[in-house]
Structure 1
Amino acid sequence: MIEMKVAGIALDAITRSPIVLLKDSSDRRALPIYIGQEQARAIMGAMEHQKPPRPLTHDLMVNILEAWNMTLEKVIIHSLQKDTFYAALIVQHGEVKKEIDSRPSDAIAIALRTNTPIWVMEEVVADASIPVDRDADEAEQQAFREFISNLRPQDLIKRFGNGDG
């Protein structure tokens, strides 16, 4: 799994639909997730540390967690199926941990309110992320190509043995 942070909310240039943008710690990959208008407001409110006069849905969830001494341990965005992302809240109460199905937008909104880490499965990042730092990606690929071009079979045998073991 890869820990990601909320980089912000953007609007799709064509559809004007809101997108929550997650970035990895190296700022090399970004994961765009299309969300609804209400979820975008909930995420932006949490990012800006806004306190509504009365609890909104995500605030209510946080209040329930706190009232029952439960901790949101982490959020996991675990799969992408037919252009739909799936997430889970990992909630702990004492020694008991429960995984609760969630839309990524709701999970992110709650995670921001509780300062909880957001994790994304590697397969999801591989399938749906976009490169942010193309120059660094290209430099890494070029270094790997040079490494491979200078590699000799003897180097592999020395490093990994001849397979007799």
Structure 2
Amino acid sequence: MTEPRPEDVPEAGDVPMSVLGVRVELPEQHHVILLVDPPGRIMVPLWVGAPEAAAAALALEGVSAPRPLTHELLLSTVAALGAEVVRVRLTEVRNDVVHGELELSTGARVDARASDAVVLALRADAPVLASPAVLAEAGMSARSGEEDGQERTVEDFRDFLDSVRPEDFA
């Protein structure tokens, strides 16, 4: 049996997260990238600007620009230096801001804005992990709390995702 490399082992307690989607909160036009744990119990919202929201939406849709945008350029640069992004970690919350880092195949860790880290993870097909501290401070229940157990918040967001297009963020 092969021993796992240090860069293949997540930090103790880290929780894998899925990108549920990008949402625009109306009427204020606030943009948010929503992450959810696999059981769908905890959501972590990342409040972002319109460009970051558009980059995330395009990455979720698998849309590539004719010329590399910033996130594709960074991934190409990392690859040209002989590395790849193996995972993204949301490490902590400071002053109400979620902080992230990229973990490279070389073992290097690179400080990153959480939104950029998540978009890079989407583009690199790398996992996104959240520390217990991030879940405790920035996480919120994804369940409505109704006795019948319906997940209205998640269902409403999925309905929104069915109708949103990347052009909506232009």
- The answer, yes or no, to whether TM exceeds 0.5 is yes
TM-score scaled by length of structure 2: 0.74
Is 2:132 the counterpart of 1:119? no
* Aligned mate of 2:87, from 74, 78, 98: 74
Amino acid at match of 2:99: Y
Is 2:170 the counterpart of 1:133? no
Q: Could you say which residue in structure 2 is the equivalent of 1:159? A: none
Q: Could you say which residue in structure 2 is the equivalent of 1:84? A: 97
Q: Could you say which residue in structure 2 is the equivalent of 1:26? A: 39
Give the number of the structure whose alpha-carbon radius of gyration is greater.
1
Q: Deviations over 1:68-93 (max 9, x none)?
A: 22021111111111111110001123
Q: Percent identity?
A: 26
TM-score scaled by length of structure 1: 0.77
Amino acid at match of 1:67: A
Alpha carbons 2:59, 2:119 under 8 Å: kept: yes
Q: Supply the distance in 1 between the matched residues of 2:147 and 2:90 (Cα, whole angstroms).
A: 24
Unpaired runs of 5+ in structure 2?
1-13, 150-170
User: Aligned pair count?
Assistant: 136
Distance 1:137 1:27, change over 3 A: farther
Amino acid at match of 2:142: V
Q: Supply the distance in 1 between the matched residues of 2:146 and 2:100 (Cα, whole angstroms).
A: 29
Amino acid at match of 1:111: A
